């Protein structure tokens, strides 16, 4: 068992039973013209996290961790998209509408592709999720259990939405969770800070938080 220096206390890392989960590093959220921009966000705020997630992926691959990539997306017929989620936005900017990167947040469209710099490699898991959390309507829990995974390390975007939701869902299902603070990002720095604080408060009520360097040191 390895030990990662983390908040609120050390994370006991068992590489054979641990997966890295990279949440939603897709063009929809990080490039102009996608869903993130349709929601009114300044997507340029997420650009700095891309090389940091790439560095985390390189470490996980070197250490032979299971690697999981998620994408938030909906079926082309939108049968998995709650009307409430779609109708939040004005026509022209809704999920399924045509945008500069194809139909917004629809599976298989150019905007739904994970950025080249952090793209999945052969053998890595790819999970398409219609919700914010990675367990909703994905079958992922069973797949993780079948693979003997008991620990999850989280990275990706956005910290307070899909990363946090997935981490809370994982915590409720009994997975030991760690988020890498400099490999996750939000359009709102104050929301990121608040989310990380909430996760580690009350003795790590959702999980633990560590830096990429601390994770790297644990493997040395
Ligand atoms: C959002 C996500 N922010 N991946 N999705 O709607 O966090």
What mean pLDDT comes out for the span 61-73?
Answer: 98
| 1-29 residue pLDDT tens | 999 999 999 999 999 999 999 999 999 99
Tell me, in angstroms, the distance from the centre of ligand 1 to residue 161's CA. Answer: 5
Q: At 88, is the pLDDT very low, low, confident or very high (cuts 50, 70, 90)? A: confident
Note whether 41 and 35 are within 8 A (CB): no
Note whether 7 and 24 are within 8 A (CB): no
What mean pLDDT comes out for the span 204-214?
Answer: 98
What mean pLDDT comes out for the span 163-176?
Answer: 98
Which ligand 1 atom sits nearest the alpha carbon of residue 156? Answer: 4
pLDDT value, residue 80 = 98
What ipTM was predicted for this assembly?
A: 0.93
Mark whether 24 is an active-site residue: yes
pLDDT value, residue 41 = 95
pLDDT value, residue 38 = 87
What mean pLDDT comes out for the span 161-176?
Answer: 98
Query: Which residue puts its alpha carbon closest to atom 5 of ligand 1?
Result: 162
CA 186: distance to chain centroid?
11
CA separation for the pair 34, 29 (Å, rounded): 6
- What sections of the chain are H helices per DSSP? 27-30, 35-38, 49-62, 83-87, 140-146, 164-172, 189-204, 212-218
| 91-150 residue pLDDT tens | 989 999 999 999 999 999 999 999 999 999 999 999 999 999 999 999 999 999 999 999
pLDDT value, residue 170 = 98
Query: Which residue puts its alpha carbon closest to atom 6 of ligand 1?
Result: 161
pLDDT value, residue 53 = 98
Query: Which residue puts its alpha carbon closest to atom 1 of ligand 1?
Result: 161
């Amino acid at each position: 068992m390895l030990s990662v220096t983390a908040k609120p206390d050390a994370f006991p890392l068992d590489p054979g039973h641990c997966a890295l989960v990279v949440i939603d590093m897709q063009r929809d959220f990080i490039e102009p013209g996608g869903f993130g921009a349709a929601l009114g966000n300044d997507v340029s705020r997420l650009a700095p996290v891309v090389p940091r997630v790439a560095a985390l992926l390189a470490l996980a691959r070197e250490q032979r961790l299971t690697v999981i990539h998620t994408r938030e997306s909906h079926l082309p017929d939108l049968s998995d998209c709650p009307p409430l989620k779609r109708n939040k936005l004005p026509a022209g900017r809704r999920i399924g509408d045509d945008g500069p990167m194809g139909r917004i947040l629809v599976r298989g469209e150019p905007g739904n592709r994970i950025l080249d710099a952090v793209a999945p490699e052969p053998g890595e898991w790819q999970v398409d999720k219609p919700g914010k959390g990675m367990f909703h309507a994905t079958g992922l829990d069973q797949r993780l259990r079948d693979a003997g995974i008991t620990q999850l390390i989280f990275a990706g975007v956005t910290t307070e939405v899909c990363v946090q939701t997935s981490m809370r869902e994982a915590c409720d299902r009994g997975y030991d969770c760690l988020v890498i603070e400099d490999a996750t990002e939000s359009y709102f720095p104050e929301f990121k800070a608040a989310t990380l604080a909430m996760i580690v408060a009350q003795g790590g009520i959702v999980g633990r938080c560590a830096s990429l360097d601390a994770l790297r040191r644990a493997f040395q």
